[in-house]
Amino acid sequence: MNRLVPPPLRAGDLIRVIAPSMSKAVVDEHDHSARIEQRLRALGLRLSYAEHIDERDAFSSAAIEHRLADLHAAFTDTAVAGILTVIGGANANELLPQIDWELIAAHPKTFCGYSDITALQAAMLARAGLVTFSGPHWSSFGMRDHFEATLESFRRTLFEREPVAVGAADVFSDDPWFLDQDLRVRSESDGWWRLSEGEASGTIVGGNLCTLNLLQGTPYMPSLAGAVLIVEDDAGSDVQDVARNLTSLLQLPDASELRGLVIGRFQHETQMTRALMAEICARQPALAGVPVLANCDVGHTFPMATVPIGGHAEMSARRAVPRLVVAVSKK
């Protein structure tokens, strides 16, 4: 399938904010909207909000048909250049059977979010060939401090079309910043982990590991053949969860054609260590001879790199300093 690359964002573009998973009403409990809008306006972006974005049912979401309508409306509205998700959640995959994939393919535009939004991004790649962006939510822009590197990665990846080298942060944050902007905790990073040496390039597939695994056996799972798999998980998955989820993913038939694996930094609560991650990867037959980097700056800690799902990655786990370069399309 040919890849559909959305046009880069430009100053003056209109962004539609949608809630295909958890409702904006949940985010608004912490009331960071003014800072969010100010930050996005500073990028030259204008904002509009989906009709059902504040609906909240027993699952902290809008009804399936309303979330679906907001998604379709965002893609079909010719005034809208890009789409930002409010936040993640647990049920974006409910929308998949009813999404009009021909409609999505006919209106390629920037679509950015992460975590539970992985279900939509992977399916858009598999069914419509659309390159999307695993990166900050609308809500992420409410972080007052230590957001600069995340913002710069978002800007470069969505506004420009040159390859972007993903930086390795010296310090990172993994704290409930949204509860108290004055109480921030920063941790020293021990760098990226080279778990298996080598170099690779290929199509980027991935996102949130446990969410991606929900798509196995469905028409919405993108192929791992020829892919650089970039995955991460949050504090809801402990070491055992990560091990079995990665094992399951790498037992897919086309995992034998995987070219490289990049694993995001884990949150402290998972209690993941380099030794444990190395052991998990060493147990995977599909990773024999495949370069593996871990503890990278993607996922649920900050800074967070914006990664084009369906784009192109070049990785090196052979150098003294590991390297990952991502691009919306292969040059």
Q: What is the pLDDT of residues 5-14, one digit of tens each?
A: 999 999 999 9
**Structure token pair of residue 71:** 């998604």
In tens, the pLDDT along 257-286 reads 999 999 999 999 999 999 999 999 999 999
- Name the pTM for this structure: 0.97
Please check whether residues 188 and 318 belong to one and the same domain.
Answer: yes
Which of helix, strand or coil describes residue 203? strand
Please compute the mean of the pLDDT values over residues 83-104 and round it to a whole number.
98
- pLDDT at residue number 157: 98
Look up the CATH number of the domain holding residue 247.
3.50.30.60
Query: Region 245-264: what's the mean pLDDT?
Result: 98
Residue 166: strand, helix, or coil: coil
**Averaged confidence pLDDT in the chain:** 97
Give the Cβ contact number of residue 223 at 10 Å: 16
The answer to whether residue 193 sits within a structural domain is yes
| Confidence check: pLDDT of 290 > 70 | yes
Beta bridge partners of 91: none
Q: What's the total number of domains in the chain?
A: 2
For residues 315 and 177, membership in a common domain is answered with yes
Total residues found in the chain within this entry: 331
Q: Are residues 183 and 110 in the same domain?
A: no
For residues 137 and 188, membership in a common domain is answered with no
Which pLDDT score, from 0 to 100, does residue 15 have?
98
Q: Does 312 share its domain with 170?
A: yes
Could you confirm whether 300 is annotated as catalytic?
yes
52 vs 3, 65, 104, 141, CA distance in Å?
Answer: 30, 10, 19, 21
The C-alpha atoms of residue 235 and residue 24 are separated, in whole angstroms, by: 22
From the list 61, 300, 314, 316, the catalytic residue is 300
Do 176 and 288 fall into the same domain?
yes
Q: Which residue range is the domain that position 135 belongs to?
A: 14-142
112, 297 in Cβ contact below 8 A? no
Characterize the bridge pairing of strands 110-113 and 80-85.
Answer: parallel
- pLDDT 10s digits, 232-246: 999 999 999 999 999
Same domain, 208 and 67: no
**Domain co-membership, 73 together with 207:** no
One-letter amino acid identity for 230?
I
pLDDT reported for residue 25: 97
The CATH number given to whatever domain includes residue 19 is 3.40.50.10740
Output the pLDDT for position 319: 74
Phi first, then psi: what are they for 103, rounded to 5°? -65, -45
Question: Average pLDDT for residues 26-32, to the nearest whole number?
Answer: 94
pLDDT of residue 191: 95
67 in any annotated domain: yes
CA dihedral 96, 305, 28, 159 (to 10 degrees): -80
- Asked if residue 153 belongs to a domain, the reply is no
Query: H/E element holding 228?
Result: strand 227-232
115 catalytic per annotation:
yes
Distance, C-alpha 141 to centroid of its chain: 15
| pLDDT value of residue 318 | 87
| pLDDT for residue 58 | 97
Asked whether residue 3 is assigned to any structural domain, the reply reads no
Do residues 52 and 20 lie in contact, with contact meaning Cβ atoms separated by under 8 Å?
no
With bands split at pLDDT 50, 70 and 90, how would you rate the model's confidence at 62? very high
pLDDT of 331 reads 73
H helices within the chain, ranges in order?
24-27, 33-42, 64-76, 101-106, 118-123, 148-159, 209-213, 239-249, 274-282
Is 314 labeled as catalytic in the residue annotation? Answer: no
Identify whether residues 177 and 310 lie together within a single domain.
yes
Confidence of residue 1 (pLDDT cuts 50, 70, 90): low
Least confident of 34-48, 216-230, 248-262, 317-331: 317-331
Q: Is residue 7 part of a domain?
A: no
What is the percent of the chain with per-residue pLDDT over 90, rounded to a whole number? 97
- Percent over 70 (pLDDT), the chain: 100
- Which residue among the candidates 23, 61, 115, 153 is catalytic per the annotation? 115
CA distances from 277 to 175, 271, 295, 304, 318 (A): 22, 11, 9, 20, 18
Of the candidates 52, 140, 232, 316, the residue annotated as catalytic is 232
Residues 171, 135 share a domain: no
